[in-house]
Structure 1
Amino acid sequence: TDDTVAVAEAAGARVLRTPYGMGNGAAIKRGARAARGEVIVFMDADGQHDPAHIDTLLARLADGHDMAVGARDASGQASRHRGLANGLYNRLASWMTGHRVADLTSGFRAVRAGKFREFLHLLPNGFSYPTTITMAFFRSGYPVAYVPIPVHQRVGTASHIRPLKDGIRFLLIIFKIATLYSPLKLFVPAALAFFALGLGWYGYTFSETGRFTNMSALLMSAGVITFFMGLISEQITGLTYLAAREEDEG
C-alpha cells in the first residue's frame, strides 16, 4: 500500500513477497530462511529503531554472545499501559529463565543465523516472535546480551498489537517455552501448592472431626501426581533436546 518495496529495492535490498498477509512471525521466518549471512539483524519497520545502533549490537556478538537485543527504557514504551505490561513480562521471563530479561518484546536484535534457525518451528506466525526466541535462547544456554538504546516515536499507522488479547498470548507463550525447556519450573510450585492445601485441609478436618477426608487425599494425591508429571516431562524434554542437538551436529 506504499512505496516500501520500491524504496528497498532501489537501495539494493532483496525483497520477499507473500501472496497474502501471513503475519509478523511468518515474515520473520521467511526472512530467516532466505538470509545468506552468518548474522541476522531484525528491526521494526515503524521508524522506532535507528540503524546506527546496529554496530553496537554486532559488537556484543563479537564479545561471544549469540544474540544481542536493543532494550528500551520506560520512555521508549508506546504507552503507560504497554510499559506496565512489558515490565510484567520481563519479570516473569526473568524468573522463568533465571537470567535478567531487560526487554522481552523488543523487535530490534542481532542474532547468529544458525542458532536462530534451530527454533523456527517454535515461532508463531503472528506477533510475539521476540518472546519465543528469547526464552528459547536462554533455555538452550545461548548467551543473550541487552544493549540500552533510545527509540523514536512510531511513524505511520498505530500499533496492531491488541494489549489484552496479545498480552494473554505473550503469557501463554512464556509458559509454553518454559514448559518445553524446564517443566519442573512450573510443575514443582503447582505440586507444592496442591500438597500444602491437602495437608492444611487434613490438619483442619482432623482437629474438627478427628478423621482424614477424601478432599485431603485428593489434594495431596494431586500434588504427588503433578510432581511426577513434571519430572517425566523434564526427562522427555532433555531427551528431545539431546536428540535435536545430535541431529544438528551430525
Structure 2
Amino acid sequence: MTISIVLPAKNEAEGLQRTLPALRAAYPDAEIIVVDDGSTDETARVAANAGATVLSSPYSMGNGAAIKRGARAARGDVLVFMDADGQHSAEHIAALLAKLEQGYDMVVGARDRSGQANLHRGLANGFYNRLASWMTGHKVVDLTSGFRAVRADKFKEFLHLLPNGFSYPTTCTMAFFRSAYPVAYVPIPVAKRVGTISHIRPLKDGVRFLLIIFKIASLYSPLKLFVPVATAFALLGLGWYGWTFAHEGRFTNMSALLISASVIVFLIGLISEQITNLTYRRDG
C-alpha cells in the first residue's frame, strides 16, 4: 500500500518548517505533495527544500481546489489529507492507516471540543454533525475535519463534486456515505496552529457554511429536506383554511398559495432525488 500525503497550503511557510520534517521522518517512502494555493510568502521554497513535490497556483483558488489538484497528481493507493499549519501531527497518521486496513474506505481524524477554532465554530460543527447523522443514519463524529485518510480510487470518483472552498470535507464524507463506502472516525488531538491567522472569514464563510446544510441534504437524500418543508407548507395551508372557514366560511387565496407551495416543494424534492441518483450511478 503506497501513501501520498497532500497538504493544501496558503502562506504556511512557518507551519511547513515544522510539519514536513516530521512527515519525512515518519514516512520516508511516502509521496508528500504540498499544493501552494497562491501563497505570497516562502511556502513553495520551504516545501521544495524539504523534499516535497510542490504544485503552485498563480492565485488562490481555495482549499478544496488545492485538495483536488493534489489528489489528481498523487500516485499513492491511499491519500492522506492534513493541514499545513501544524495542527495535525505526523504521529497520528498511523492510527488512520490502521483503521483503514480494517476494511474502511475513509477514516477521519475527529477533533474534540478543544480542537475547535472557537465556540461558534464548535457549535456550528456540532449542529452539522447531528444533521449529517440524521441524514445518513450513521453517527458522524466530525463532518468538517480536514485530517483524513482515504482510498485513492474511491476518493477520485467524487472529485467533480468537491467545491473549491472550505466545505470539501463535508462533500466527500456525504458522498462516501451515499455510495455505501464505509467511513470510520478516530479521535485525535489538535495542536494550536502555527503562523498566520486562520483563512476562514467569519461573515462570508458563515453564510457559506450555512449553505452546507442544504448541500448535505442534496448530496445524500434531498427528500429528507424537501418533504418536511412541503409538509410544513401543507399544514400551514390547511390550518389557515380551517381557521378562515370557521370564521368567514370561505377558502382564501393564502390557503391556496400555501398548499400550492407544498406541492411544488415536494415535486422539486422528487426531481432532486432523481438527479442525486444519477449523480452516484456508476456505469460499467
TM-score, scaled to structure 2: 0.80
Q: Is the 8 A contact 1:139 1:181 kept in 2?
A: yes
Residue 137 in structure 1 maps to residue 183 in structure 2: no
Equivalent residue in structure 1 for 2:261, among 214, 222, 238: 222
Q: Structure 1 unaligned segments of length 5 or more: list them.
A: none
**Residues 66/119 of structure 1: CA separation in 2 closer, same or farther (3 Å cut):** same
Give the deviation of 1:182 after TM superposition: 1.4
The one of 149, 155, 160 aligned to 1:116: 155
Paired position in structure 1 for 2:81: 42
Does the 8 Å CA contact 2:245/2:251 hold for their aligned counterparts? yes
- One-letter amino acid matched to 2:125: N
Q: CA deviation at 1:3?
A: 4.8
Residues 91 and 68 of structure 1, relative CA distance in 2, 3 Å threshold = same
Q: Residue in 2 aligned with 1:195?
A: 234
Match of 1:99 in 2: 138
| Contact 2:65/2:165 (8 A) holds in 1 | yes
Instruction: Find out whether 1:24 has 2:63 as its counterpart.
Output: yes
Farther off after superposition, 111-120 or 95-104: 95-104
Paired amino acid for 2:249: G
- With a CA cutoff of 8 Å and minimum separation of 6, indicate the structure with the bigger relative contact order: 1
Q: Deviations over 1:138-184 (max 9, x none)?
A: 22221111110011111111101012321221231341242143110
- Shift of residue 47 of structure 1? 0.5
Structure 2, unaligned runs of 5 or more: 1-39
Distance, in Å, in 1 between the alignment partners of 2:279 and 2:117 is 39
TM norm structure 1 = 0.91
* Structure in which a larger fraction of residues adopt strand: 2
Task: Give the structure 2 partner of residue 207 of structure 1.
Answer: 246
The answer on 1:235 being equivalent to 2:274 is: yes
In structure 1, how many angstroms separate the alpha carbons of the residues matched to 2:59 and 2:129? 33
Contact 2:88 2:190 in 1 (8 A): yes
3-state DSSP of counterpart to 1:93:
helix
What do you get for the CA RMSD once the two structures are aligned? 1.8
Sort the Cα spacing of 1:232 and 1:126 in 2 relative to 1 into closer, same or farther, 3 A: closer
Secondary structure, counterpart of 2:235 in structure 1: helix
Decide which moves more: 111-120 or 16-25. Answer: 16-25
